[in-house]
Chain A
Amino acid sequence: MTGWPEMLATALVGTDRRSTNAAAAGTDPAGDLLEQAAAWSVYRRAGVRPVRGLVAPEPAPDETTTTVGEAAAARLADLLDATELAVTEYRGGFVAEWLSVAAARNRRVPPELLPALLDAGRRRTELRPMIVAAGGLRTGWLAVQNPEWTYLTAEVAESTADPAFWHEGTKDQRAGYLTAARRADPAAARDVLAADWPTLPPDERAQLVAIFDTGLGPDDEEFLERALDDRRKEVRDAAVDLLAKLPGSAFNTRMAERARACLRVRDGRISVEPPAVCDQGMRRDGIIPKTYSGKGERAFWLEQILARTPLSTLTDGDPTAFFRLSLEDGWETPVLHGLAQAAASQRNPAWAAVLLDVLEPQKPSSRRWVVENLYAALGPDELVRRSIAGLRDPEAGLGRFLERLLEQCPAPWPDALVAAALDGIAVHVRHKRMPYDIYAVCRLAGMRMPADRAPEAARIAKRFRTEHPNHGRVDALDQLTSTIDFRHQMIQEIS
C-alpha cells in the first residue's frame, strides 16, 4: 500500500501525469488511488494524537468583589449586544451608567461579558476608566492577552510584548502592540515604528503615528518633523496635531511667528495682514492652500494659522486683553473662527468662554461646529451655568447650540440644572415658546438627570397628558419618562 504523502503527490498532479506503482495493468489508477486514500483518511482521523508541550497560562488573580446578580447581568448583556446597532449612542450612555453604579456598589461585571465590554471600550474611550473600575482584576489579566484590548492596561505583559504581533499581526494588533510599547518605553517604540516606516501601508502609517499621543515628549519632535514630509495627507495631519501639543516645538514657534506677522497691535488696534501667498513652509505645516470655492484664500490661510497658534503667545495669553483691542474691519470672521479652533484643540477654558460670548449671539454667521467644539473646552461649572441660562431664558438665543452644551454637562445633572430643564420642558410643551429642540432636551434629560427623579418626571408627563390630551409633542415627554424609568430599573437591579 502506498504511503499518504506519495498518494497526495500523485493526486495533486493527477494520475494521468504520474503513475502509481500500485496501478496494475487494466485497472483504473484514479479509482484505486481514491480507494486507498479512503482507508488512509479514516486511519489518519482515528489516529490523531493529542498535542503535547503546551504550557497553561498563569491564572487570573482571585477577585475581591462579587459579580452582579442575574437580572443586572442580563441587562448589561442586552446593552452590549452588537446586533442592535441602531441605538448605539443611547446604549453607550446606559453602559457607562451601569458600570459606574456597579463600581460604586462594589459589584463586578460577570467575566463572560468582559470581551464584549472590552470591544466596546475600543471605540468608546469614555467607558475605559469605568471598565477598569467595574471589571474586577480579571479585566487587566484578560486585556493584556489581546493586543486589541491593550489600550486598557499600563503594563506590557510578555504576551503583548511579543514582536510577532508587530510583524505578523493584524492592523489593530500592530496598533495595540505599539500603544503598549509606547507606554513602557516611548523611545524604543519610536525606533520600532521608524524601522518599518517605509514599508508600512500609508493609511496604517497615519493610524500608527497618531499613537504617539501616548507618551508624547520632546524626543518625538524630530520623528514627527520628518513625518511632515510624508506623501500621505492623513500622516501629515496626525503629525501636525501632535507637534502642536509639544510646548516649545519648532512647529509652534513657526506658527506663533506667522500669527504675529498677521496680527499687528498698534495703539489699541489690531491691524490684520494675512499672508500674500501660501508658501512651501506653510503647506508643509498643514495649511491647506485652496478653498473649496476658490475665493477668500487669504482669509482661509489666516484662519488656519490662528487655529494652530499657541494662545499663550497672543496678548500674553489673556483673552480679555485681546478683545479689548479693536479689530480691523473685514477680518473678524476668520480671526474669531481661527481662535475658536485653537481654544478648542488646546482645551483653553478662558479663551473658550470669551469666544463663546462673542460667537454665540452671531448664530447665522458662525459655523456650527466651530462653536460646538468650544463647549468641550469649558470647565464643568461654566457648562452648567451656561446651560441653565439657556434653558431659563428664551432670549439667550442658544437655540440649536443648547443640545450640544447639555451633552457636555457632567452627569448626573446637578439639581439646579434638572430644575431648569423640567421647568423649561413644562413651559415649552404648554406654550410652544422655548426656542430649542424639545426632543433633544427630553432625550438628554432622560439620560442625564439622576434616576431617582423618575417619579417627578412621571408627574409632569401625567399632568401634561391630562391637560393636553391631543398635544403633538406629548411623545417627547414619553421618551423622557421611559428613558428615566429604564435607568431607574437598571440601577435598582444592580446588587
Chain B
Amino acid sequence: MRDEAKPRLSAEQVLALAPDTSSQRAARSLATLARWRDAGHSPDPPSLWGLCEGSGANPYQTCVDLTEPAYRCSCPSRKFPCKHALALMLLWSADGIVTAEPPEWVTEWQTSRTDRKEQAAARAQARNESRAAKQAEPEQGPNKTAQRRADRVEAGLEELDRWLTDQVRQGIAGASRGGYAHWDRMASRLVDAQAPALASTVRRLASVAATPDRLLTELSLIRLLVAGYRRADQLPPDLAATIKARIGFPLATDAVLAGPRVRDEWAVVGVRDDGDERLMVRRFWLCGTATNRPALVLSFAGPGQQLAADLLLGTTVDADLCFYPGALPLRALVATRYAPAAPFTEPAGAVTVARALGSYAKALTAEPWLDRWPVLLADVVAVEDTPVRWHVLDRDGEALPLDPAIGPPWWLVAAAGGRPATVAAEWTPAGLRPFTAWCDGRLVRP
C-alpha cells in the first residue's frame, strides 16, 4: 500500500492528538504558512518538517513521523506533541505542504529513530530468549514468587466463596443497606490477596445492590469464576487464561507481544474514557477491516499523567495486533504499525440488532463473564418511547434499550436528525452505550 493513495487526517483528528485544549488553540493559530519556512512532506518514510519562528533567536526545527506518529521539535515546550508539531500536521491536513526531499536534520532524526527501534527489537528478542531459557530450567526464583501469589489468591478465593454463600444464606434483600462499606471490605481483602481485578468486580457490586435481579446475577457469576479457578488445570488453557486475567494475575506486556500477531487494517470505531482521579482508563475499540474481528486497546493514566492518544477515532491503521490470551481474545496491544493512520468515512461490517445480539450470545458461550461487547449497528434511529427511556431502532423494527446511566443521547438525535445512522456501541447487561455514530458520512461522538 502506497501512502499517497491514502487520504490525509482531518483537522479534527489531528487536534485529537493534542494533550490539552490550549495546545489545540495555539496550534490552530500557528497553522498558517506565513509562520513557517521550508516546510515539506515526504511519503517515504511518511513525514513532515518545517522551521517555525518562535521567541528564541533561531527558528524551531519541527518534524513529524506520520507512521507512529512520532514528533520532534527543538522548542522548549514540555507538552507532547507540542503546538508546532500539531500546527505542521494541521497544515498538511489542509493540503498546505508540498512534497519535497527531506533536509539533513530530518533524515538524521529518522535514522536515529530507526536505529533505536532496531536496538529495542533486539533487546526484546534477547529478553524473550532468556525467558524461554528460564522456563526451561525448573525451580527458579520467579516460580517461588508465583507460588506465593497462587497461595495468597487461593486463600482469598476461599474467603470470597464463604462470603458469597453467606450473602445468599442471609438474603440479598438487605444488601444495599450496608452501603459501599459492605462491598469495599470484601474488595480490600481481595486486594490483599493479590486478586485486584476480582476486587474491583466486587467493589462495583455496590452499583447494582439496589437491583436484586442484577445483584444475584453478578454474585453467581463471581462464584462461577471462583469455581472455574479451582478447576483451572482441567480447563482448556485459553479459558484458564481468561479466568486468571479476570482474577487479576498480571501478564507482562513482553509476554503478550511475544505471542502471535494479527495484521489487518484496524478501524478505530470508538474511544471511551472511564475511571476516577486515581486511575483513568481509555478504551479504544477497534474492528479489523478484513478479519471483522473486534479488539480493545487500553491506556491507563494516574494523576498527572496523560492518556495515550495514538489511536485516532475514525482512522484505520495498518498494524500487527497481539491479543492477550483468553477464551475470547479481545484486549490487544499494537505491536507494529506499517503505515500512517488513514481516515475512513464509514466503518464496514455494521449489522442489524438481531445479528448484534446473536454475536454477543455466541461470544458468551466462549466467555460467560463478558459484560461489554462491541457492536456496530447499521441504520439505527434513536427513539424515546416514554420520557427518558431511550432505544435505538433498526430497519427491521427491532430495538435495543440504552443504558439509562449514560443519559439521553441528544448528540446522536441532533446529528442524525431522525435518519438512520451507523452506530458503534458497547452492549452491556445494563443496556447499550453508543460511543460513535456516522451520520451523512460525518463522524460524531458524545
A residues adjacent to B (C-beta < 8 A):
7-8, 11-17, 28-31, 33-38, 40-42, 44-60, 70-71, 74, 78, 81, 84, 110-115, 138, 141-142, 145-146, 159, 162, 164-165, 168-169, 173, 489
Partner of B212 from the list A12, A16, A28, A84 (CB cut-off 8 Å) is A12
Residues of B within 8 A of A11 (CB): 168, 171-172, 212, 216
Residues of B within 8 A of A159 (CB): 384
Instruction: With both chains docked as a complex, state the minimum distance between the C-beta of A184 and any C-beta of chain B, in angstroms.
Output: 19
Residues of A within 8 A of B172 (CB): 11-12, 14
- Contact yes or no, B216 A16, CB < 8 A: no
Residues of A within 8 A of B387 (CB): 162, 164-165, 168-169, 173
Query: CB-nearest residue of chain B relative to A42?
Result: B368
Residues of A within 8 A of B357 (CB): 48-50
Task: Give complex CA distance A37, B221 in Å.
Answer: 8
- Contact yes or no, A34 B165, CB < 8 A: yes
Residues of A within 8 A of B393 (CB): 54, 56
Partner of A34 from the list B15, B168, B171 (CB cut-off 8 Å) is B168
Residues of A within 8 A of B29 (CB): 489
- Contact yes or no, B220 A55, CB < 8 A: no
Interface of B is mostly: helix
6 further A-B contacts with Cβ under 8 Å, apart from A12-B212, A30-B168, A57-B383, are A38-B220, A51-B398, A51-B400, A55-B383, A70-B12, A142-B414
Q: Answer yes or no: B364 CB below 8 A from chain A CBs.
A: yes
Which listed segment binds A: B103-111, B296-304, B415-423? B415-423
Task: Return 28 A-B CB contacts under 8 Å, by A number.
Answer: A8-B213, A8-B216, A11-B216, A12-B171, A12-B172, A16-B169, A34-B168, A34-B223, A35-B227, A37-B217, A41-B220, A42-B368, A46-B361, A50-B357, A52-B397, A54-B383, A55-B383, A56-B418, A60-B418, A71-B11, A71-B28, A74-B12, A74-B28, A78-B21, A112-B442, A162-B387, A169-B387, A173-B387
Residues of A within 8 A of B169 (CB): 14-16, 29-30
Q: Answer yes or no: B166 CB below 8 A from chain A CBs.
A: yes
- Contact yes or no, B221 A112, CB < 8 A: no
Task: Give complex CA distance A41, B168 in Å.
Answer: 15
Instruction: With both chains docked as a complex, state the minimum distance between the C-beta of A169 and any C-beta of chain B, in angstroms.
Output: 6
With A38-B220, A84-B21: A13-B171 Cβ-Cβ less than 8 Å: yes
- Contact yes or no, A42 B401, CB < 8 A: no
Task: Give complex CA distance A162, B387 in Å.
Answer: 9
Task: Give complex CA distance A33, B164 in Å.
Answer: 11
With A13-B173, A164-B386: A42-B364 Cβ-Cβ less than 8 Å: yes
Which listed segment binds A: B57-65, B233-241, B405-413? B405-413
Task: Give complex CA distance A58, B364 in Å.
Answer: 36
- Contact yes or no, A50 B353, CB < 8 A: yes
- Contact yes or no, A145 B413, CB < 8 A: yes
Task: Give complex CA distance A373, B11 in Å.
Answer: 45
Residues of A within 8 A of B213 (CB): 8
Task: Give complex CA distance A37, B216 in Å.
Answer: 7
- Contact yes or no, B220 A58, CB < 8 A: no
Task: Give complex CA distance A165, B398 in Å.
Answer: 26
Q: Answer yes or no: B360 CB below 8 A from chain A CBs.
A: yes
With A37-B217, A112-B415: A47-B168 Cβ-Cβ less than 8 Å: no
Task: Give complex CA distance A294, B12 in Å.
Answer: 62
Residues of B within 8 A of A38 (CB): 220-221, 223-224, 368
Residues of A within 8 A of B400 (CB): 50-51
Q: Answer yes or no: B185 CB below 8 A from chain A CBs.
A: no
Query: CB-nearest residue of chain A relative to B228?
Result: A38
- Contact yes or no, B365 A46, CB < 8 A: yes
Task: Give complex CA distance A433, B355 in Å.
Answer: 77
Partner of B417 from the list A7, A47, A59, A173 (CB cut-off 8 Å) is A59
- Contact yes or no, A15 B384, CB < 8 A: no
Instruction: With both chains docked as a complex, state the minimum distance between the C-beta of B155 and any C-beta of chain A, in angstroms.
Output: 18
Interface of A is mostly: helix
- Contact yes or no, A50 B165, CB < 8 A: no
- Contact yes or no, B364 A45, CB < 8 A: yes
Task: Give complex CA distance A222, B410 in Å.
Answer: 40
- Contact yes or no, B418 A59, CB < 8 A: yes
Partner of B383 from the list A17, A40, A56, A111 (CB cut-off 8 Å) is A56
Query: CB-nearest residue of chain A relative to B223?
Result: A34
Q: Answer yes or no: B354 CB below 8 A from chain A CBs.
A: yes
- Contact yes or no, A111 B168, CB < 8 A: no
Within B175-221, which residues are at the interface with A (CB < 8 Å)? 212-213, 216-217, 219-221
Residues of A within 8 A of B354 (CB): 50
Task: Give complex CA distance A31, B24 in Å.
Answer: 56
With A11-B172, A34-B168, A165-B387: A57-B418 Cβ-Cβ less than 8 Å: yes
Q: Answer yes or no: B399 CB below 8 A from chain A CBs.
A: yes
Q: Answer yes or no: B42 CB below 8 A from chain A CBs.
A: no
- Contact yes or no, A112 B417, CB < 8 A: no
Query: CB-nearest residue of chain A relative to B22?
Result: A84
Query: CB-nearest residue of chain B relative to A165?
Result: B387
With A11-B212, A74-B11: A111-B417 Cβ-Cβ less than 8 Å: yes
Residues of B within 8 A of A114 (CB): 414
Residues of B within 8 A of A36 (CB): 220
Instruction: With both chains docked as a complex, state the minimum distance between the C-beta of A128 and any C-beta of chain B, in angstroms.
Output: 17
Residues of B within 8 A of A44 (CB): 217
- Contact yes or no, B399 A51, CB < 8 A: yes
Instruction: With both chains docked as a complex, state the minimum distance between the C-beta of A480 and any C-beta of chain B, in angstroms.
Output: 18
Residues of A within 8 A of B173 (CB): 12-14
Residues of A within 8 A of B171 (CB): 11-14, 16-17
Q: Answer yes or no: B391 CB below 8 A from chain A CBs.
A: yes
Task: Give complex CA distance A103, B39 in Å.
Answer: 37
Q: Answer yes or no: B10 CB below 8 A from chain A CBs.
A: yes
Instruction: With both chains docked as a complex, state the minimum distance between the C-beta of A390 and any C-beta of chain B, in angstroms.
Output: 35
Query: CB-nearest residue of chain A relative to B429?
Result: A45
User: Lowest 3 A-B CB distances belong to which pairs?
Assistant: A14-B171, A60-B417, A50-B398
- Contact yes or no, A138 B383, CB < 8 A: no
Query: CB-nearest residue of chain A relative to B219?
Result: A34
Instruction: With both chains docked as a complex, state the minimum distance between the C-beta of A242 and any C-beta of chain B, in angstroms.
Output: 29
Residues of A within 8 A of B220 (CB): 34-38, 40-41
Residues of B within 8 A of A78 (CB): 21, 24-25
- Contact yes or no, B223 A35, CB < 8 A: yes
Q: Quick one: which of B169, B221, B353 has the most chain A CB within 10 A?
A: B169
- Contact yes or no, B391 A51, CB < 8 A: yes
Task: Give complex CA distance A162, B408 in Å.
Answer: 17
Task: Give complex CA distance A98, B352 in Å.
Answer: 40
